[in-house]
A and B are shown apart, each in its own frame.
Chain A
Amino acid sequence: MSQALRIVRGLLLLFVVSLALVGPRLADHFAVAQQPRPGSLQDDPLVAQLRLLQEKVQAVIERVKPAVVAIEIGPGQGSGVVVTKDGYVLTAGHVSGKPGRQVTVIFPDGKRIKGTTLGMNPSMDSGMVKLEGAGPWPYVEMGDTSQLQVGDWVVALGHPSGFRPGRPPVVRLGRVLRMSEQFLVTDCTLVGGDSGGPLFDLRGRVVGIHSRIGASLADNVHVPVNTYHETWETLARGEVVIMPYLGVRGDEQAEQAKILEVMPDSPAAKAGIQPNDIILSFDGRKITNYRSLVEQLRRKRPGQVVSVEVLRNGEKLELKVKLAARPM
C-alpha cells in the first residue's frame, strides 16, 4: 500500500471514530463533506462539524433577527415572531391573554407598532397578535414540528427581561431533549421576557414558541409550532381554542392503543372505558396505536358524541363518549 493511501485511510478512520463520539444526531447533521478551513485546527472532524454548525446558526440568526419582536401589554412584556408579510405574530397564550387587547410590538430596530391580541389556546399556551397596518413586515417561515427529532440543534431568540434599546434579540443554542405533541423541551436557556419568542431549526423556520421553564437549565419548554398550523383559523378569528378532552392516558410505546389510566369523572370514565382496554376505532376510524388515537381526538370538538370500539378480555365493545372541553 502506498503511503498516501495509508494516510487517507487513517484520516477516514479518525473521521468515523469522532463522529461516533459526538453521537448520532451531530453526525447526521454534518455527514456532508467537510472542508477544513485554511489556517484553522484542521484534521479534527469534531471541530470541523462544530464550525459548520456555527456557520449555519450564524446564517439563521442573520436571516430571522428582523422578525423577532418584543410585545408590551400593560406592565408586562413578552416576545413574539412575525410569520406573515401582513403582520400575524405568533406568541405564547399567557403573553397575549384575552383576545382584543391593545399591545405595542417593538421590532429590533426600536420601531414601535400598535397591535391587537387575537385568539389563544390556554391548554397549549399558544397565542397570536395582529400588527396594525398592511406592512409588508419582516417575517419568517413556519416549520413542521413533526419533522423535528430529539437531538436536533435548535436556536432560541427572544427579548429576555424585556426589550432593551440597542440590544438585538438574544441568541441561545441547544438541542431538542424531549418532545411530544404537547411540548418541546430544549437546553436553550430561557428566562422572563422570552415567553412567546421563537425557536428555530437550522433552516431558519419557526418550530416552537417559548412557554415556560423549570428549575434546571435543561427545563426550557416550547409550544410546538404545529398547533399554530392546526388552529390558525380559530386563532386568527380572535377566538379561544377549546381542546376536546377524553381523559385517558395510554402507552405510547405499545403497538396497540392500550389505555393505562382513566381520569376520574372524565368523559372516558363516564362512557365506561377502563384501564387495559385497547381502542380499536374512534368515530369509525381505525386506531392502530395511542398516537393515532390522539390524532383522531384532536380533530373533534368538545360536546361531540363519538362511538368508540374497544377490545376488553378478548371481547369487542361499542361505547359512546361525549367529549368535554379540556380542563385548564
Chain B
Amino acid sequence: MKGKLTQVRRFSRVSLELLLVALCLGLSSVWSQNRPAVKPYRNDPQLREGLRSVVRSAAESTVEVLVEGRQVALGTVVGADGYILTKASEVKGPARVRLADGRELEAQIVGKDEAYDLLLLRVNASKLKPVRWGSGDDTPAGSFVLAPKPDGTLASLGVVSVPARDIPAKGPGSYPNPNIGYLGISLQDSQDGPVITSVMEGSPAEKAGLQRGDVIYTFAGQRVRNTERFLEMLRDYAPGTTVSLVVLRDEEFVEKRILLGTRPRDFSRAEFQNRLGGELSEKRSGFPRVLQHDATLLPRDCGGPLVNLDGEVIGINIARAGRTESYAIPSEAVQKLLPDLMRGKGLTPARK
C-alpha cells in the first residue's frame, strides 16, 4: 500500500503509528498476490470508453469556460441561442467559452444566483444544442452518474450518494460554515456546560486568556447548555467580531472578551482528510438544494452537466466538496432558476 494511512474517525485515541506497526508486523500482513490486481473503476479505461455513447449527446451541450486562456470551469448549454450556465465563483474575470465544436467565443454575463453559485453566460451563437433534462429529484441513491467533457470523454463517474435534498442554512442538518468565527478550542460536555479540553497555541481563545478546564457559561449574554448549542450560537458571529463570554473557573465566574478569528486552513483532522485525494472547490457550501455524488471531480470540472445512464442531464455539478463528496444542483432547481437568470437576476444595473 502506498502512502500514509490515516484513520477515518474524527478524533482518534489509538495512535496511528501503533496501527501502522500492527499492519507491518506479524503474520499474514502480506497482500494476497495470487489474484489479479484491479484498477479503481473510475479509472478503468475500458469502462470510461464504453460510457462515451451514453454521454455523447450531453457532451455536445458541454463547453469549457476560459478566463485568461485557461479553463476555470465547464459550462452547460441551456438555450439554443447562446445561453450557458456555469459555476459563478470560478469565473473571476472576463470569460470566453470554447464550444464542443471548437469555436471560441466571448461571453457576456446575463444573470447570477449567489446561493447556488450559478452564473448565466450568453455567447453570440445560434443553433446550439441545449441539454436534454431528466429528473434530478427522482434519482435514487446508488444510481450511476457521469460527468462529460466537451470532447466526449468523462471528467469522472460515480453514483448518487445522497438523493436531492434541501439543506437548511442554519441549525440541525446544516453544514459547518467555514466563515464562522474561530476560537481555537476543543470542548467536551459536562453537567455545567461545555468544558474547554484544549486551547490552541496562538488562537483567539488563548489571546483572550481562556484556559483548559474553563466551563463556558454564557456566550454573548446567552446561557450555553452544551457544545452543540454553543456551536450553533457561534454560527451567528463572523470573524473579526468581538464577543463577551463568561466562563466558570475554580467556582468563580470570569468574564472574557474575545476577538473571533478565521479558522486556519487545513487545520483540523477532518479538513486534512477531506483534502486527501484532490483539490476542493473554493465555494463548496451554502447551496439551498443539492444532490450529493461520489464522482471525483476537479474544481475546474464544475459547471458542467451530470448525466444518468439514460443520457439525461439530472443536474449541474457545482462543487467538489470533500474526499467523498461532490455536489450537483438538481435539474428541477436549475430549471426553476433559469427564467429569472435570463431576466438578469442578481446583477447590478450597471453590469446588465
In whole angstroms, what is the CA distance A170 to B163 when docked? 9
| Complex interface bits, A183-202 against B, C-beta within 8 A gives 1, otherwise 0 | 10101011111111000000
Contact of B5 among A166, A213, A328 (CB under 8 A): A213
**A178 adjacent to chain B (CB < 8 Å):** yes
Q: List 12 A-B contacts (CB under 8 A).
A: A44-B54, A50-B144, A54-B144, A74-B11, A161-B322, A172-B294, A174-B40, A175-B41, A194-B324, A219-B1, A263-B26, A327-B26
Cross-chain contact B34 with A57 (CB below 8 angstroms): no
> How many chain B residues have a CB neighbour from A under 8 Å?
83
Cross-chain contact A151 with B38 (CB below 8 angstroms): yes
Cross-chain contact B294 with A212 (CB below 8 angstroms): no
**A87 adjacent to chain B (CB < 8 Å):** no
**A85 adjacent to chain B (CB < 8 Å):** no
Given contacts A97-B13, A215-B4, A327-B21, A75 and B142 within 8 Å (CB-CB): no
CB neighbours of B46 from chain A (8 A): 21-23
Instruction: Give the interface size class of chain A.
Output: 35 or more
Closest-CB distance, A74 to chain B (whole angstroms): 6
Closest-CB distance, B89 to chain A (whole angstroms): 22
User: A41-B310, A54-B159, A213-B5 given. 15 additional CB < 8 A pairs?
Assistant: A47-B54, A94-B9, A122-B18, A150-B35, A172-B294, A174-B41, A175-B38, A191-B323, A192-B270, A192-B274, A194-B324, A195-B9, A213-B6, A217-B323, A219-B3
Closest to B159 in A: A173
**B92 adjacent to chain A (CB < 8 Å):** no
Cross-chain contact B32 with A75 (CB below 8 angstroms): no
Closest to A20 in B: B46
Contact of A180 among B29, B47, B142, B187 (CB under 8 A): B29
Contact of A76 among B11, B18, B175, B323 (CB under 8 A): B11
Given contacts A75-B11, A214-B2, A171 and B50 within 8 Å (CB-CB): no
**B30 adjacent to chain A (CB < 8 Å):** yes
Closest-CB distance, A121 to chain B (whole angstroms): 10
Cross-chain contact B161 with A193 (CB below 8 angstroms): no
Closest-CB distance, B133 to chain A (whole angstroms): 16
Those of B30-52 within 8 Å (CB) of chain A: 30-42, 44, 46-47, 49-51
Main secondary structure of the interface of B (DSSP, over half): loop
Those of A193-251 within 8 Å (CB) of chain B: 193-196, 210-219, 221, 243, 245-250
In whole angstroms, what is the CA distance A122 to B15 when docked? 11
| Complex interface bits, B293-316 against A, C-beta within 8 A gives 1, otherwise 0 | 010100000000000011100000
CB neighbours of B19 from chain A (8 A): 94, 122, 125, 212, 328
**A35 adjacent to chain B (CB < 8 Å):** no
| Complex interface bits, A300-328 against B, C-beta within 8 A gives 1, otherwise 0 | 00000000000000000000000000111
In whole angstroms, what is the CA distance A280 to B159 when docked? 49
Those of B233-267 within 8 Å (CB) of chain A: none
**A179 adjacent to chain B (CB < 8 Å):** yes
CB neighbours of B10 from chain A (8 A): 76-78, 161-162, 192-193
CB neighbours of B39 from chain A (8 A): 177
In whole angstroms, what is the CA distance A97 to B13 when docked? 8
Cross-chain contact A170 with B292 (CB below 8 angstroms): yes
Given contacts A25-B38, A175-B38, A293-B27, A78 and B144 within 8 Å (CB-CB): no
| Complex interface bits, A238-270 against B, C-beta within 8 A gives 1, otherwise 0 | 000001011111101100000000010000000
Cross-chain contact A155 with B277 (CB below 8 angstroms): no
**A294 adjacent to chain B (CB < 8 Å):** yes
Cross-chain contact B50 with A21 (CB below 8 angstroms): yes
Closest-CB distance, B23 to chain A (whole angstroms): 7
Closest-CB distance, B323 to chain A (whole angstroms): 5
In whole angstroms, what is the CA distance A167 to B289 when docked? 12
In whole angstroms, what is the CA distance A46 to B284 when docked? 33
| Complex interface bits, A132-145 against B, C-beta within 8 A gives 1, otherwise 0 | 00000000000000
Given contacts A123-B22, A214-B1, A180 and B294 within 8 Å (CB-CB): no
Cross-chain contact B8 with A76 (CB below 8 angstroms): no
In whole angstroms, what is the CA distance A142 to B12 when docked? 26
Closest-CB distance, A255 to chain B (whole angstroms): 11
CB neighbours of B168 from chain A (8 A): 166
In whole angstroms, what is the CA distance A111 to B63 when docked? 46
**B276 adjacent to chain A (CB < 8 Å):** yes
Cross-chain contact A326 with B5 (CB below 8 angstroms): no
Closest-CB distance, B125 to chain A (whole angstroms): 28
**A60 adjacent to chain B (CB < 8 Å):** yes
Cross-chain contact A150 with B22 (CB below 8 angstroms): no
Cross-chain contact A150 with B21 (CB below 8 angstroms): no
Cross-chain contact B50 with A46 (CB below 8 angstroms): yes
Cross-chain contact B159 with A57 (CB below 8 angstroms): yes
CB neighbours of A51 from chain B (8 A): 309
**B273 adjacent to chain A (CB < 8 Å):** yes
Those of B167-186 within 8 Å (CB) of chain A: 168, 172-173, 175, 186
In whole angstroms, what is the CA distance A201 to B12 when docked? 28
CB neighbours of B50 from chain A (8 A): 18, 21-22, 44, 46-47
List 5 A-B pairs, minimum CB-CB distance, nearest first: A187-B40, A195-B9, A57-B142, A76-B11, A215-B3
Closest to A294 in B: B28
Closest to A94 in B: B14
Contact of A182 among B14, B28, B42, B296 (CB under 8 A): B28
Contact of B42 among A95, A97, A187 (CB under 8 A): A187
**B143 adjacent to chain A (CB < 8 Å):** yes
Given contacts A173-B159, A250-B30, A178 and B8 within 8 Å (CB-CB): no
Closest-CB distance, B114 to chain A (whole angstroms): 23
Cross-chain contact A173 with B294 (CB below 8 angstroms): yes
**A271 adjacent to chain B (CB < 8 Å):** no
